[in-house]
């Protein structure tokens, strides 16, 4: 693992989410009404889960690898917020 790994994980997670967003929106439709189109045999539910799951884990991994750098000078409330952020990224 290099010093660049956390930043790369954050960027890749964001890029994956941004690249899947137009596909999901074109399949589902721009409103809350599901148009239920399919791409590669998969429905919008699959593509939405893919758009949310993998990028969130990549971003959480990048932030977790940055924790030693951020943890040292942080106040207790900032540490609690950081842990809650990581938990919410993994759970979602």
CA distances from 53 to 1, 3, 38, 57, 68 (A): 23, 25, 19, 6, 25
Instruction: Look up residue 7 and give its two tokens.
Output: 């930043």
pLDDT of residue 15: 92
Instruction: Look up residue 85 and give its two tokens.
Output: 């952020």
pLDDT of residue 27: 82
Give the global pTM.
0.77
Which 8-state DSSP code applies to residue 31? S
Q: Are 52 and 6 in contact (CB under 8 A)?
A: no
Rounded distance, CA 9 to CA 72, Å? 22
Q: What parts of the chain have a pLDDT lower than 70?
A: none
């Amino acid at each position: 693992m290099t010093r660049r790994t956390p930043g790369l994980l954050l960027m890749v997670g964001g890029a994956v989410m941004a690249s899947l967003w137009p596909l999901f929106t074109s399949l589902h439709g721009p409103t809350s009404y599901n148009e239920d189109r399919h791409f590669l045999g998969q429905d919008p539910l699959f593509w939405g889960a893919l758009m949310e799951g993998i990028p969130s884990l990549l971003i959480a991994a990048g932030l977790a690898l940055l924790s030693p750098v951020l943890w040292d000078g942080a106040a207790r409330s900032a540490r609690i917020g950081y842990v809650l952020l990581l938990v919410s990224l993994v759970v979602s």
